[in-house]
Amino acid sequence: MQTADIQSRWLNFFGDRGHTVVPSASLVSDDPTLLFTVAGMVPFVPYLTGLVPAPYPRATSVQKCIRTLDIEEVGKTPRHGTFFQMNGNFSFGDYFKEQAISYAWELLTSSEADGGFGLQEKDLWVTVYKDDDEAIRLWKQVAGLPDERIQRLDMDTNYWSTGQPGPAGPCSEIFFDRGPAYGADGGPATDDDRYVEIWNLVFMQYLRGEGSGKNFEILGELPKKNIDTGMGMERLAFLTQGVENMYEIDQVRPVLDRASEISGRRYGANHDDDVRMRVIADHVRSSLMLMSDGVRPSNEGRGYILRRLMRRAIRAMRLLGVDAPSFSELFPASRDAMKAAYPEVGTEFDRISRLALGEEETFLRTLASGTSILDLAVATTQKTGSTQLAGDTAFQLHDTFGFPIDLTLEMAEEAGLSVDRDAFDTLMSEQRAMAKADAKAKKTALADLSVYGDFRALGETVFTGYELLKTDSTILGLIVDGASVDRAVVGDIAEVILAETALYPESGGQEADAGSIVGKGFDLEVLDVQRPIKGLVSHRVQVRSGEVGVGDAATSVVDPVWRHAAAQAHSATHLIHAALRQTLGSDAHQAGSYNKAGYMRLDFNWNQPLSPATRSEIENIANNAILENLEVTTRILPLAEAKSLGAMALFGEKYGDTVRVVEIGGPWSLELCAGTHVSRSAEVGLINLVGESSIGSTSRRIESLVGFDAFKDLATERSIVSQLTSSLKTPREQLPERISDLVTNLKAAEKRIAQYEAAELAARVPALVSRVSHVGAVRLISENVGTVKTTDELRSLATTVRERLGSEAAVVALAADVSGKPAVIVATNDEARKSGVRAGALAKLASGILGGGGGGKDDLAQGGGSDLTAIDTALQAISANVAG
């Protein structure tokens, strides 16, 4: 049974039984506590917990998920994958335990001809929470399961809660027995690979109180009981397709086979090679899916996870003997396997491919440079006589240079060294402690947002700001320090929940409106406006005067100057985007933006700097569009219709069934956007492109000033040019040539001055050499040379004097005033070092007396401090130390 068939059977089964079929949400989760959608239930958590009213009584989905906590297990077990699909059916206060069990058993055991999965009843086991006698009774009643195939397990595996006070309940898991060839008898309780968990049923029926771990109180039953289930698509696929593991199913195997062909290694011939091919197949698919949802490789957050997956795949290819680039063949194989289920991987593949190939090229260079760094570390370790490479060295290679630890282990072993894994693992554990949110999706998702639930239950916040700058409303709630309160007084910082608001909440790259909320007897300054949960707007305010309470009439007032300038900047962003694509082509697609009053920036996919001519062309096109005074219109359309018109969506953004389309000049600029805009392009005023830079190997950033801020910046430049023309007595158009001539003359003068200063220093050498003294067998020059311009000059003087003293044991210690602070340079020759004199130790000694620090190598070292009056004392200490 192909994976696409499993998906259609699932959705058809539950759709026919009254469930709303909900499309997969993005891998980029809306939940602020999560990097990714890590479980099928994550998009439904607000409904399951009651934070947001459910828009339907029952739902079903096939949800894309990413989970990387067990990344080291990928390829080693039959079921661990970083990307997976979770088939779910959900009930929000509708059906409960008996119906959920009945649906699961019917779908699993019905014949394929009848739309089921055709599993044999004899192969299925279930686990239940140890005290859930009701579930045991139902499994016997519905499925006719005997006692020996129903196992009671403890809270750590068969109980769900958020980890906070709120909904909780027991779980029941369904397992498939692969047979005695795969492990020992004993059922799922043996925790053996023989028994594969395929479906988890969560019965959300209780309200839990405070506590942690297993220690919390059940306060009673929920008034509305929910069902949350999840079936692993890949797990069922490898069981029904008759293959050994998830890496061999129809959506994954093509990449594995392509890696085998490229490397010339046969799958199934060598265990280590098999694991590497599975890692490649899994990670390439995961990377493809992440990039199709707008994630780009980077050094932080989601981009770091993507980069790690891609680099592990490159590393695995290297271990298969492939040093050349291979993504150009691996990614198309994954695209072809996935596009039937997810068409976007096909339509967006050009963009995805550019990102993948650019990342591969960058990492292959990293491998080359990392190898050089590792070679140096190995040589240093061997020189000290140690047989173990330091753990912090291995961690630095991994963390700073992206050099995989297994590559470090392999190369160190080739050089006869081990790696201090304990130290490395400790450092890695400290780093991982900050990234465990993925593993606790069900325990943490939205738990800290529960304070908004009661307000959201009253309905969505109505945003009137597209048409109005002032709206009368009612205060539905006040929140201070995370808790709901009845009143707020002067000086308080609070969150205000209104039924309606004209104030724009930060979203779509646009900063929140400035403004105020006023009413009878109070005035609130708006500090920020956000959407903490879907459909609810929260205003962060400071009470400037009076006292405000829940239920009070209130008016939201937008600062009109701020709003107009913000609208100018947002419309300018669309103009720059259109100009960018007109200049560079459709490949230059927006990848993020930020705009506020007077300023905008736009990130876009591109892998090389823009020339000055290209920057000017983009700026000219955008400003010409302003001059043309193009009409700006907005329409609310179904998403499919908007896309059919050519409206561009920002990768990674979430869109509902209906979207707002912003048009500037009709088809000239057509984008999905919820931001505020001017009514005609001339209102933007002026765009002044002030910056263009790299933000990654495949991404660039344009920054512009907009409107009056753009004019002020140009006026400042005009003033500077005017001053230059006056000072240099040169017409404006001749300034570049005149300044170039001045710079050339200045460099020539600086070169002559440097020659004079070098000659002056050289002239001081004979006098210094003549003042040499003998301290035992060592000849010593210890002098305060007065004032010099730089430490480099002092160092040059010291080394020149050392050379003039010949091959007999000699030490030169020179001190000087450098820019008002003392500096000391100590130089020794070979014979002095054989006598035990070390320049680094002498410099450190002198620096301590000077009130600073210093040190260096045995032959040459420097130091300094803050006390010029201590120079002579420091030199005397050097002389005494040499004598000793």
Question: For residue 276, what are its two tokens?
Answer: 């590497």
Q: What is the pLDDT of residue 589?
A: 82
Q: What is the pLDDT of residue 443?
A: 35
Compute the CA torsion angle 578, 579, 584, 587 (nearest 10 deg): -10
Rounded to 10 degrees, the C-alpha dihedral 87/89/90/91 comes to 180
Residue (of 60, 69, 65) closest to 232 by Cα position = 65
Q: Where are the beta strands (DSSP E) in 380-514?
A: 388-389, 418-419, 462-463, 470-480, 483-485, 487-489, 493-498, 500-501
Please give the average pLDDT of every successive group of 10 residues along the chain, which has 884 residues: 93 96 90 84 88 92 91 85 95 96 96 94 95 95 93 91 84 94 90 88 91 83 92 94 93 96 94 94 96 86 88 90 94 95 91 90 78 80 85 76 71 81 79 48 45 84 95 94 91 95 94 96 95 91 95 96 96 96 87 92 90 95 96 92 80 72 92 94 96 84 95 93 92 92 93 84 86 88 89 90 89 92 93 90 91 87 91 91 84
| Amino acid at residue number 605 | N
In sequence order, what are the residues at sequence separation of 6 or more whose Cβ sits closer than 8 angstroms to the Cβ of residue 825?
791, 794, 795, 797, 798, 812, 813, 814, 815, 843, 860, 861, 862
* Biggest alpha carbon–alpha carbon distance for the chain: 108
Give the DSSP H/E element, type plus range, for residue 217: strand 215-232
Q: Is 570 labelled as part of a ligand binding site?
A: yes
Q: Is 398 annotated as a binding residue?
A: no
Name the β-bridge partners of 167: 207
Residues 6+ apart with CB under 8 A from 667: 646
Contacts of 645 (CB under 8 A, 6+ apart): 637, 661, 670
Q: How far apart are CA 340 and CA 334, in angstroms?
A: 11
Beta strands in 652-756 (DSSP E): 658-664, 669-672, 687-696, 699-706
Spatial CA neighbour of 570 closest among 668, 687, 468: 687
Are the C-beta atoms of 125 and 174 separated by less than 8 Å? yes
- Nearest by Cα to 194 from 123, 129, 143, 269: 123
Helix (H, G, I), strand (E, B) or coil at 551: coil
Q: Give, to the nearest 10 degrees, the angle between helix 327-338 and helix 349-383.
A: 140
Classify the C-alpha dihedral 614-616-622-624 as positive or negative.
negative
Residue matched to tokens 């090389």: 608
The answer for residues whose C-beta is within 8 angstroms of residue 258's C-beta and 6 or more apart is 329, 330, 333
Burial class (CB in 10 A: 0-12, 13-18, 19+), 637: middle
Token output for 151: 């196992």
- 539 marked among binding-site residues: no
Q: What is the pLDDT of residue 291?
A: 93
Q: How many residues does the chain have?
A: 884
Report the distance separating Cα 201 and Cα 230, nearest Å.
7
Q: What are phi and psi of 788, to 5 degrees?
A: -130, 160
CA distances from 635 to 563, 647, 664, 675 (A): 20, 11, 12, 13
> Is 159 in a helix, a strand, or coil?
strand
For residue 799, the tally of other CB atoms under 10 A from its CB is 15
The tokens for 159 are 């109980």
Q: CA 358, CA 365: separation in Å to the nearest integer? A: 11
**CB-CB contact of 196 with 188 (8 Å):** no
Helices (H), 218-300: 233-240, 253-263, 271-292
Determine the angle formed by the axes of helices 349-383 and 301-319, rounding to 10 degrees: 70
Across-strand partners of 443?
Answer: none
Q: What residue has token string 């491919």?
A: 353
Q: Nearest 5°: CA angle at 530, between 527 and 534?
A: 165
Q: How far is CA 553 from CA 473, 493, 611, 653, 759, in A?
A: 6, 19, 56, 35, 84
d(CA 773, CA 792): 25
677 is in an annotated binding site: yes
